[in-house]
Structure 1
Amino acid sequence: MMACLGRVLVPSLRTALSPRVAQRSVHLCPALCAGHNKWSKVKDIKIPKDAARARVIAKLTMMIRIAVKEGGPNPDFNLNLAHLIEQCRSKSFPKATIEAAIKGAEKSKAAAQFVYEGRGPGGFVMLIEVLTDNNTRSHQEIKRILSKHSAMLCDGARHSFSRKGVVVATKDGISLEQALEMAIEAGAEDVQESEDEEERATLQFICDMSDIRGVRAILDKLGVSTVSAGPEFVSNTRAPLHEDQLKAASNLLEALNDCQDVVRVWDNIEATS
């Protein structure tokens, strides 16, 4: 849906934990996903909050369409849909809006989901998730936007990302050291600091997709206020960009997100001084 300030190794913290728990390697790193810290503030500075919220509603509606097409309209049997409904509720979406999105997905004409791979200014890579009923139109529009912003479609960008489970929680005064200990206890692989679209501090607990429910359940028992959980693309290699490159990247990603067929864009940008 990417500013890493450095990955902190944790031997000193792990030694304070039990020997059994200490064997798990967990990394402490501000989130590599979009929407937080220095990179997010560059990226989102031109987007008024009302417009941003409208775009979030539109994108989540599209994601609900995908989930319903893939797994049906019943969230009890469609885990991805259940996660999306929860995200909508955490953002105070009206119940009628959520129900309309689900019903609209069932009645909407057939659409296909694609993920395009691209390379942007400064050498960062991105994955562009698209939902469309006309792939030729979408392909041409994506190419036009990329070309206009000195970017291009490419092969191999997917290798810079891993499909992971992400449990998002409110930070609520939790220090990064405390978050790390919680991640270890919950069985998460990473914990990352982030911000939501309203610039509220959050924590992202990264885990294997099959462990999403288990990690969230343990975090809830530990008193962590989780707000959503679901699959994400998480970058495993980063592209450092300077201020001028960040501005160009921001314009590109804003144009892509404004495209009606684009659901989400993931990037591997790291902001540098």
Structure 2
Amino acid sequence: MFLRLSIVSSPPVAARRHLSTSPVQWAGHNKWSKIKQKKGANDASKSAAFQRATQDILVAARSGGVDPDKNTALAAVLKRLKAQDVPNHNIEKALAKAVKVKSSGEISTYEAIACNSVGIMIECATDNPNRTAQTLREILNSRNARMAPVGFMFVRGGRIVVGVQNGPDADALLDAVTELALSQGAEDYETLPLLTESDSQSRMKFYCEPSVLSNLTSELKKRSGVYILESQLVHYPVNKTELPDGDTEILEDLVHALEAHDDVIRVTTSANQI
């Protein structure tokens, strides 16, 4: 007996329909990459501006105290920073650091070298120099830099920044101030660019020997309509160091990390690009 097998044919399978036969385009990825690059550049610019704001507050406070009602330079700095939309917490942190600087009274300077040839002077206000030194070493070592004696790469000099209110007589007043400064021992000067288009002050920077700084500052203070925004001794590199390609960003990252430390007042490098 034979069994008859019947084969039932399956219905034909319909071909799959594709919504699109064109290759997938990852346009969003490229767009996001550009957005990230732009955002990164903006964030870096803001970070630099905030660090600069901290330094401006510290400088103004060191020369005239931390009370803006008694320190016209500090009051002018705070007004400008608020107009530039610097966050309040950045301003408050800088003021707290300024109070610490005034209360400690002692400034410790640490020397370091980065990128094999760039000297760095790190000025700090601290009540525990050993602890501060250890923290600075960690920051330096993590970025291939180290503590090293580089004082011979710098000289000390006086620096004064003055401001006058913008107006029809501003240029004439700045010319008169320049003549006065040069007659009282200033060795060089430069006109500083406006910080913003709406900046209410024009500013000039004067350089002098340390022995002249106090008297020159006093004479400039006497001039009506002139505001002393900065008067201090600073380090100047004897010779500027040219950085190899690619090292500029490395050094900038190191400087920003050092400046972010609560004890650090100012960081000066011998690099031509920084």
TM-score class, shorter: 0.5 to 0.7
Are 1:212 and 1:229, in contact at CA under 8 Å, matched by a contact in 2? no
Instruction: Tell me, yes or no, if structure 1 residue 155 matches structure 2 residue 149.
Output: yes
Query: Gaps spanning 5+ residues in structure 2: where?
Result: 1-40, 83-91
Q: How far did residue 196 of structure 1 move?
A: 7.7
Q: Report if aligned partners of 2:72, 2:227 keep a CA contact under 8 Å in 1.
A: no
Post-superposition shift, 1:134?
2.4
Give the aligned partner of residue 217 of structure 2. 213
Instruction: Calculate percent identity across the aligned residue pairs.
Output: 18
2:30 is aligned to: none
Indicate conservation of the 8 Å contact 2:123/2:264, yes or no: yes
Q: Report the TM-score, using the length of structure 1 for normalisation.
A: 0.57
> CA 1:44–1:226 in 2, change beyond 3 Å: closer, same or farther?
farther
Q: Unpaired runs of 5+ in structure 1? A: 1-42, 68-78
| Aligned residue among 81, 99, 113 for 2:65 | 81
Paired with 1:234 and 1:58, the residues of 2 have a C-alpha distance of 15
Count of matched residue pairs: 209
Answer yes or no: is the 8 Å Cα contact 1:59–1:264 preserved in 2.
no
By how many angstroms is 1:166 displaced?
A: 1.7
Q: CA RMSD in A?
A: 4.7
Q: Which has the larger radius of gyration?
A: 2
Tell me what 2:76 maps to.
Answer: 90
CA deviation digits over 1:90-116, x for unaligned, max 9? 21359xx7xx869965997x6853111
> How does the TM-score come out when normalised to structure 2?
0.57
The 8 Å contact of residues 112 and 146 in structure 2, kept in 1 or not, is answered as yes
CA deviation after TM superposition for structure 1 residue 217, in Å = 4.4
The Cα shift of 1:44 comes to: 9.7
Distance 2:149 2:137 in 1: 14
User: SS where residue 272 of structure 2 aligns?
Assistant: strand
Would you say 1:131 and 2:108 are equivalent positions? no
Q: Do the aligned residues in 2 keep the contact of 1:83 with 1:230 (CA within 8 Å)?
A: no
CA displacement, residues 8-35 of structure 1 (integer Å, 9 cap, x when unaligned):
xxxxxxxxxxxxxxxxxxxxxxxxxxxx
CA drift of 1:53 comes to: 4.1
In structure 2, distance between residues paired with 1:62 and 1:193? 19
Provide the residue aligned with 2:35 in structure 1: none
Contact 1:127–1:158, Cα closer than 8 Å, also in 2: no
Cα pair distance change 1:174/1:162, threshold 3 Å: farther
Distance 1:260 1:196 in 2: 29
* Structure 1 match to 2:9: none
**1:239 aligned counterpart, secondary structure:** coil
Partner of 2:266 in structure 1?
264
Matches within 5 A, 1:1-273: 46-48=44-46, 52-53=49-50, 56-57=53-54, 60=57, 64=61, 81=65, 85-92=71-78, 112-121=106-115, 123-157=117-151, 159-169=153-163, 183-185=181-183, 187-194=185-192, 202-207=203-208, 208-217=212-221, 220=223, 225-242=226-243, 244-271=246-273
Tell me, in whole angstroms, the C-alpha distance in 2 between the residues paired with 1:248 and 1:106.
28
The residue type equivalent to 2:189 in the other structure is: V
Higher relative contact order (CA 8 A, sep 6+): 1
In 1, Cα distance between the equivalents of 2:187 and 2:116?
Answer: 29
Aligned residue identity for 1:247: E
Separation of aligned partners in 1, 2:108 and 2:144 = 22
Is the contact made by 2:154 and 2:237 (CA closer than 8 Å) also made in structure 1? Answer: yes
Amino acid at match of 2:229: S
Aligned to 2:85: none
Q: What per-residue deviation string (whole Å, max 9, x for no partner) do you get for residues 12-71 of structure 1?
A: xxxxxxxxxxxxxxxxxxxxxxxxxxxxxxx9971417x84477348736984xx5xxxx
For 1:259 and 1:159, the matched residues in 2 are separated by 24
Query: Aligned in 2, Cα 1:139/1:63: closer, same or farther, shift over 3 Å?
Result: farther
Give the whole-Å Cα distance in 2 for the aligned partners of 1:45 and 1:157: 33
For 2:180 and 2:102, the matched residues in 1 are separated by: 43
